[in-house]
């Protein structure tokens, strides 16, 4: 099985930087996704990492360390609209290559 | 808009009712998924279809019955549900199933309440 852990809730201030961590314990690792889900809406794709390192995409960056079973999503210049749930999902070869999701981190951005 | 639509958006049903959830994707994808999302729990995979063939049934009770008549449509038939089945039911699609790097596109979900 897989064990994926993320903080349940985080708060941050508009304009600040926040880092959302995701740790996992799995075998046959084959990639990690981050999705954003606003309340009452569909999850939407943010990033995919399969190699170690940092992938930058505008205000959002995602980092992966396969040896440590660790990823983070970095959000810069936070805006109120970034208040959402952030879902970490791990893909393994033993899971038919279908992502297994963590519980998600609810991020609240306040003025 | 993600290209995946779901109807109805909200559904209230009694335990003896029969209802169906519908999902349609306009992306030309070959794989479709049903997930259950409950408060404070991870997204739970229920069923996976690839090219209209069911490839995954994640130990889901038989009161949930999926149907995939073609690669663009996916249904979830519900009967004699329990109150603990109340949740958000999400449909998703991806271009293919295998490979591990296929991005999933989610619909907005059906919020189900079982009384």
Q: What is the DSSP string of B30-66?
A: SEEEEEEE-TTS--EEEEEEETTEEEEE-S--TTEEE
pLDDT over threshold 80, residue B3:
yes
User: What residues of chain A lie within 8 A of the CB of B108, using their CB?
Assistant: 40-42
Euclidean distance between CA atoms A34 and A101, whole angstroms: 9
Report yes or no: A22 at the B interface, CB cutoff 8 Å: no
Is B98 in Cβ contact with A48 (below 8 Å)? no
Would you say A97 and B53 are in contact if contact means Cβ atoms under 8 Å apart?
no
- Nearest CB to B43; choose among A48, A50, A101: A101
Would you say B100 and A93 are in contact if contact means Cβ atoms under 8 Å apart?
yes
Write out pLDDT tens, residues A28-59.
899 999 999 999 889 999 999 999 999 999 99
- Nearest CB to A31; choose among B42, B45, B100: B100
Residues of B in CB contact (< 8 Å) with A are: 2, 4, 33, 40-43, 45, 48, 55-56, 90, 97-109
pLDDT over threshold 80, residue B51:
yes
Say what the pLDDT of residue A2 is: 66
| Distance in Å, alpha carbon of A76 to nearest chain B alpha carbon | 23
Is A41 in Cβ contact with B108 (below 8 Å)? yes
For the ranges A26-40, A88-102, B9-23, B29-43, the lowest mean pLDDT is seen at A88-102
| Distance in Å, alpha carbon of A107 to nearest chain B alpha carbon | 14
| Distance in Å, alpha carbon of B9 to nearest chain A alpha carbon | 10
Euclidean distance between CA atoms B109 and A70, whole angstroms: 29
Write out pLDDT tens, residues A9-35.
999 999 999 999 999 998 889 999 999
Say what the pLDDT of residue A94 is: 72
Say what the pLDDT of residue A26 is: 87
When pLDDT is averaged across residues A70-87 and rounded to a whole number, the result is 98
Say what the pLDDT of residue A89 is: 95
């Amino acid at each position: 099985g897989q064990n994926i852990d993320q903080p349940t809730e985080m708060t941050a201030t508009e304009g600040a930087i926040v880092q959302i961590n995701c740790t996992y314990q799995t075998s046959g690792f084959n990639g990690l996704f981050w999705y954003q889900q606003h309340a009452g809406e569909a999850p939407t794709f943010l990033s995919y990492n399969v190699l170690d390192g940092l992938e930058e995409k505008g205000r959002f960056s995602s980092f992966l360390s396969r040896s440590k079973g660790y990823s983070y999503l970095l959000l810069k210049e936070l805006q109120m609209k970034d208040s959402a749930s952030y879902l970490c999902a791990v893909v393994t070869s033993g899971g038919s290559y279908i992502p297994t999701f963590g519980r998600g981190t609810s991020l609240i951005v306040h003025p | 808009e993600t290209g995946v639509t779901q109807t109805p958006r909200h559904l209230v049903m009694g335990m003896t009712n029969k209802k169906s959830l519908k999902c349609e994707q306009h992306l030309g994808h070959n794989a479709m998924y049903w997930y259950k999302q409950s408060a404070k729990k991870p997204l739970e995979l229920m069923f996976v279809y690839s090219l209209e063939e069911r490839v995954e049934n994640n130990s889901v009770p038989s009161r949930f019955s999926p149907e995939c008549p073609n690669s663009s449509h996916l249904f979830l038939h519900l009967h004699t549900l329990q109150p603990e089945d109340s949740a958000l039911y999400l449909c998703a699609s991806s271009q293919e199933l295998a490979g591990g790097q296929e991005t999933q596109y989610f619909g907005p979900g059906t919020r189900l309440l079982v009384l």
